[in-house]
Amino acid sequence: GQQLNQSPQSMFIQEGEDVSMNCTSSSIFNTWLWYKQDPGEGPVLLIALYKAGELTSNGRLTAQFGITRKDSFLNISASIPSDVGIYFCAGQLSGGNEKLTFGTGTRLTIIP
């Protein structure tokens, strides 16, 4: 099946630093989604991207839908302790096929 390569697998940063992560696919997607998962909970949607080249922000988070439709990027500015968690990208085809393909996740840890 389709696979999404998400990198980096883990990040150790200090509070206040900016964070960047990305997701690449061997296939084209028409929707890119970014989720955050806290321990013991299900993924929560952060940002949804529906158009190639689209740049969308949600507070300190900014995500971009790559022009080729095979990649997406998530940036977090001025990280704070509550940003700790696992971030997942997901690609979704349109045209009546709602199945999501998930990346393997980026685990973000903030060093005191």
Partner 1 sequence: NAGVTQTPKFQVLKTGQSMTLQCAQDMNHEYMSWYRQDPGMGLRLIHYSVGAGITDQGEVPNGYNVSRSTTEDFPLRLLSAAPSQTSVYFCASSYSMAGGVGQPQHFGDGTRLSIL
Local structure of 89: helix, strand or coil: strand
DSSP string, 33-71: EEEEE-TTS--EEEEEE-STT-EEEETTEEEEE-TTSSE
Residues in contact with partner 1, shown as a per-residue x/- string from 78 to 97 under the rule CB under 8 A? ----------x---x-xxx-
Please state the length of the chain. Answer: 112
| Interaction of residue 54 with partner 1, rule CB under 8 A | no
Neighbours of 22 (CB within 10 A): 18
Number of residues that bind partner 1 (CB under 8 A): 28
| Interaction of residue 39 with partner 1, rule CB under 8 A | no
**Interaction with partner 1 in 18-37: which residues (CB under 8 A)?**
30-31, 33, 35
Q: State the residues that interact with partner 1 by CB under 8 A.
A: 1, 4, 6, 9, 30-31, 33, 35, 40-45, 48, 50, 88, 92, 94-96, 98-100, 102-105
